[in-house]
Amino acid sequence: MSRNRKNAEPIRISGLSIIDIAEEGKGVGKADELVIFVDKAVPGDVVDVRIVKKKKNFAEAIVEHIQTPSELRQDPFCSHFGTCGGCKWQHMEYDAQLKFKHKNVEAALQRLAKIDTSAMEPILGSAVNRYYRNKLEYTFSNKRWLNATDMEFEAEGREMNALGFHVPLRFDKILDIEHCYLQAEPSNSLRLRVREYALKNGLSFYDLRNHEGALRNLIIRTSSTGEVMVVVVFAYAEQDQIKGLMEHLKVSFPEITALLYIENQKKNDTIFDQEVITYSGRDHIFEQMPVENGGVVKFKIGAKSFYQTNSEQAYELYKITKEFAGFKGDELVYDLYTGAGTIANFIAGSVKQVIGIEYVPTAIEDAKFNASLNGIENTIFYAGDMKDILTGHFIAEHGKPDVVITDPPRAGMHTDVVERLLEMEAEKIVYVSCNAATQARDLALLKEKYDVVRIKPVDMFPHTQHVENVVLLQLKS
């Protein structure tokens, strides 16, 4: 008789030693050659676990008891830890986080690209590891995630509306956030005031399954210049409801420099195809970075603009990128996946010309505006699919680059783009990546003509497993 797997006794393992941490952030242990990925376990822990998923070569488990805590453990600082999908590593000391991020980048480059990492430079940690983000997006929902305390109340006594973040693997459940350590004030005060106003005035929270309700999303952007942008995304709201909330925010938070709203009735949350309406102030805020001549380069940030979400560490990342390139002043530079032209405009004063290419047309408009804003006249920007724009004709028209800077999305570069880089034979390529695995895949192809001469990881997102990595490639002689 086959065993009824649904009613089978769960598999438990006692005294499992956690020996490593995986790229996705889970602890790693081994039992009888079976690799076990353990959620919220830290290397050095000895734990009792329960298997929740088992495959032929690996299993996934959760901690039921910590027999011996790792020396790398620390108390999580956030009350939402364990339920919220953010800051998953806050139970591990920050120096240890950096060590494992460095190790994971190194392992990916060695395993997937067979690169010698013996001269890899130490990871650069973030000087600020709380309240470091300049942008957060919250979701309204009438299906709040309920914890054990909530379940003690009768159903009719539970508050079901929430304003916060998605619970991992549950698209329709939102964790109501009381305090978030990712973004500095007035972020928490704004979110709490909006929720309070909505509940007091009977504004309905969005139903993620049935697609109905007045309030959908809240986006808050801040800048190092002290400016604040608030974008309220409504779904099916009456005009008096919109005006009531927006006016309440305008009066309650005079520090808001860009107060905007969107009416999005699509079935997805993306706002790139939506009209942004300015309620008060400007339709943008400004960010700025120092440059080597003692001045600053300014960036216009709109509701839809892309900008690195850790402003302080973005400056460090761009400085490393520039240092790796080793500009002498007469270079033609191609900046691939230029976004809003932040790197292009940052390095423009150190080179002869920068040509930036980006898929998103609105980002290119921002890049052009930012160049004009800073009086930069040696940048040219093009919008379109990288593999379609970066052709032999394009290179013949604009010239062969001396240096290529490429900062692609997590998926890495299209193979056609890699082929074009091999054909161009620029003297140097500086490859900035937020995904060491896809970066390694591309580097394996580029090794045909390039040597990897410098590697430096940069931590942009403390308390998460994510890490940026900068690689300098030199054309083989």
* C-beta pairs of 197-203 under 8 Å, 24+ apart in sequence: 197/245, 197/248, 198/140, 198/161, 198/163, 198/245, 199/159, 199/161, 201/241, 201/244, 201/245, 203/237, 203/241, 203/245
Residue recorded with tokens 């920007």: 381
Across 359-376, b (16+ Cβ under 10 Å) vs e yields: bbeebbbbbbbbbeebeb
Q: How far apart are CA 474 and CA 203, in angstroms?
A: 58
What CA–CA distances, in Å, run from 72 to 14, 41, 103, 162, 171?
21, 11, 16, 34, 32
Say which residue the tokens 């790693």 belong to: 28
> How far is the C-alpha of 460 from the C-alpha of 282, rounded, in Å?
29
Q: Tell me the residue ranges of DSSP E strands in 360-476.
A: 379-383, 403-406, 428-433, 450-458, 468-475
Is residue 213 helix, strand or coil? coil
Burial class (CB in 10 A: 0-12, 13-18, 19+), 24: exposed
Q: How far apart are CA 357 and CA 341, in angstroms?
A: 9
- Is residue 30 within 8 Å of residue 52, measured between CB atoms? no
Give the C-alpha distances (Å, rounded to integers) separating 397 from 238, 386, 400, 423.
53, 16, 9, 15
- CA 234 to centroid of chain Cα atoms: 24
Q: 84 an active-site residue?
A: no
Q: Which residues of 94-111 are buried (b: 16+ CB within 10 A; e: fewer)?
A: bebbbbbbbebbbbbbee
Handedness of CA 235, 241, 247, 253 (dihedral sign): negative
Lookup result for tokens 């604009």: 398
Q: CA triplet 428, 432, 435: central angle to 5 degrees?
A: 135
Per the structure block, which two tokens stand in for 154? 């009768």
By three-state DSSP, how is residue 362 classified? helix
Q: For the chain, give the longest Cα–Cα distance.
A: 78
CB 406 within 8 A of CB 377: no
Residues 78, 84, 87, 434: which is the catalytic one?
Answer: 434
**From start to end of 55-200, where are the E strands?**
58-68, 135-141, 162-167, 170-176
* 399 and 373 Cβ atoms separated by less than 8 Å: no
Query: Which residues are annotated as catalytic?
Result: 434
